[in-house]
């Protein structure tokens, strides 16, 4: 518990942390410098965060689609997808539900949702055309064409192209960990409209108990109360999912329901 609290208090953007981390992990210095150079260039070219992160995803996907969604091996890709699916299935997801998967990526968890849900009940959106092409390859690899899932490119989280009160479950895994607060609040401002009666919205985030910060505009760390307060401003009630904390995943999870 003590070591976990220490981890949650770390400011990864501080110079002292970077020096200490580099001393402990010298092999990671060169990759971080490459990311820093890429970040500087992409921030110069793309002032808007969504456009910036779309370019990050294009760069990462070109190297390795699995790594682009945070999985360093096929085994880890499968394990993280199974973790998301098993948790959601154990916490209310039913085959007849309609699911919106925000930041669906290359269907790490999505192919399991598609297989489980009734045809046409899965709707995946992402800001990256490159990762959506990879998602279609995953769909084909698992032979799920007959389920007719929707895979759609989006540039924001207003959901203006989606119908009112339509989705029983909205899911966003490793999306807000890469999002500044104004992007998260945009989602909170509009997700209530598309939730069906009795519906819920689950999302993960990188949690800190210290100072909120970001690393290279790619990884954002928030205090739980910041996100709960933001959700409340938009008429949503938040519950911190304590049982998720015991799973082998570095992020935390919140569930939102209309207040």
Cβ(122)–Cβ(105) below 8 Å: no
User: Could you report the per-residue pLDDT of 2-22, keeping only the tens digit for each?
Assistant: 335 457 877 776 666 666 766
Quick one: pLDDT at residue 1? 36
**CATH classification code of 2-258:** 3.40.50.150
Comparing CA positions, the residue from 76, 41, 75, 70 lying closest to residue 57 is: 70
Regions of the chain short of the pLDDT cut 70? 1-6, 13-19, 21-22, 29, 66-71
Cβ(196)–Cβ(168) below 8 Å: yes
User: Could you report the per-residue pLDDT of 207-217, keeping only the tens digit for each?
Assistant: 999 999 988 77
Quick one: pLDDT at residue 10? 78
- In the chain, what are the domain boundaries? 2-258
Supply the pTM of this predicted model.
Answer: 0.84
């Amino acid at each position: 518990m003590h070591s976990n609290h220490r981890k949650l208090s770390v400011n990864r953007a501080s110079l002292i942390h970077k020096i200490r981390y580099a001393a402990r992990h010298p092999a990671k210095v060169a990759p971080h410098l490459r990311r820093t150079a890429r970040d500087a260039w992409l921030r110069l070219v793309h002032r808007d965060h969504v456009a910036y992160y779309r370019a990050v995803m294009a760069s990462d996907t070109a190297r390795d689609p699995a790594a682009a969604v945070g999985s360093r091996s096929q085994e880890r890709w499968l394990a993280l997808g199974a973790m998301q699916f098993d948790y959601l299935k154990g916490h209310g997801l039913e085959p007849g539900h309609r699911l919106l998967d925000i930041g669906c990526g290359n269907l790490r968890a999505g192919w399991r949702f598609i297989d489980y849900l009734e045809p046409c009940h899965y709707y995946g959106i992402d800001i990256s055309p490159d990762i959506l092409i990879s998602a279609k390859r995953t769909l084909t690899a698992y032979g799920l064409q007959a389920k007719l899932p929707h895979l759609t490119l989006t540039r924001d989280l207003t959901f203006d192209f989606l119908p009112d009160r339509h989705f029983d479950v909205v899911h966003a895994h490793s999306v807000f960990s890469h999002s500044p607060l104004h992007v998260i609040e945009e989602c909170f401002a509009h997700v209530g409209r598309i939730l069906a009666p009795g519906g819920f919205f689950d999302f993960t985030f990188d949690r800190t108990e210290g100072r909120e910060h970001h690393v290279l505009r790619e990884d954002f760390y928030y205090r739980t109360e910041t996100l709960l307060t933001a959700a409340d401003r938009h008429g949503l009630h938040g519950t911190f999912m304590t049982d998720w904390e015991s799973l082998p995943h570095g992020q935390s999870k919140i569930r939102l329901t209309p207040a």
